[in-house]
Amino acid sequence: MIIFLENVENWECLYQECGARCCSEGIELTLEDVERISERHSDFFKVEDSRILLKGRDGKCVFLQEDLRCGIEDIKPVACRLLPFVIHEVRYGDEPFIKLKLVVDCPGVGSGKAVDLGEIERYATLFLHEKQELLMKMKEDRDYLKKLFS
């Protein structure tokens, strides 16, 4: 289940105005993200507990270019495709859910083109499914991620 904590009708990424605030290190990646990005890049993630996190430089995404553009726009992580929403909470149980909230103080909220909530829901569902699959594999083998990436 996808839960939107806030609504937005229009959005445009105005990264120059905010200094690409949402392009930060520590964004959670899926296994599919790692596979896709690994075809072109290496040494861009770290594993912490049951999470695969994007590395950074000075608190920013390792792929953020000097001009503040995304260096992997065409293969960017699922979490980045959720913009202008960010993941607020994920829970698994009888009915897994993901809560999405708007990026804090985003100057692009309310401007630009209409937000396609159907597309956002598809990416959120993908993230939820992939994360649940990873957790199930880790339940079977606690060292699954370490073995996978060693």
The mean per-residue pLDDT over the stretch 54-80 comes to 96
Domain total of the chain = 1
At 94 the pLDDT is 85
Domain membership of residue 27 (yes or no) is: yes
Domain membership of residue 71 (yes or no) is: yes
* Domain that includes residue 91, residue range: 2-144
At 49 the pLDDT is 82
pLDDT at 135 over 90: no
Res. 126 pLDDT band, cuts 50 70 90: very high
Domain membership of residue 134 (yes or no) is: yes
pLDDT at 42 over 90: yes
Res. 128 pLDDT band, cuts 50 70 90: very high
pLDDT at 48 over 80: yes
- Please choose, from the candidates 54, 57, 58, 36, the residue with its C-alpha nearest in 3D space to the C-alpha of residue 44: 54
In percent, how much of the chain has pLDDT > 90?
79
Q: Positive or negative CA dihedral for 25, 104, 122, 119?
A: negative
- Residues 13, 109 contacting (CB under 8 angstroms): no
Domain membership of residue 149 (yes or no) is: no
Q: CA-to-CA distance for 49 and 34, rounded, in angstroms?
A: 16
Please list, residue by residue across 99-132, b when 16 or more beta carbons sit within 10 angstroms of its beta carbon and e when fewer do. Answer: bbebbeebebbeeeeebebeebbebbeebbebbe
At 123 the pLDDT is 97
Q: Say which residue, 148 or 103, is predicted with more confidence.
A: 103
At 139 the pLDDT is 85
Domain membership of residue 120 (yes or no) is: yes
Domain membership of residue 116 (yes or no) is: yes
Domain membership of residue 112 (yes or no) is: yes
pLDDT at 145 over 90: no
Domain membership of residue 150 (yes or no) is: no
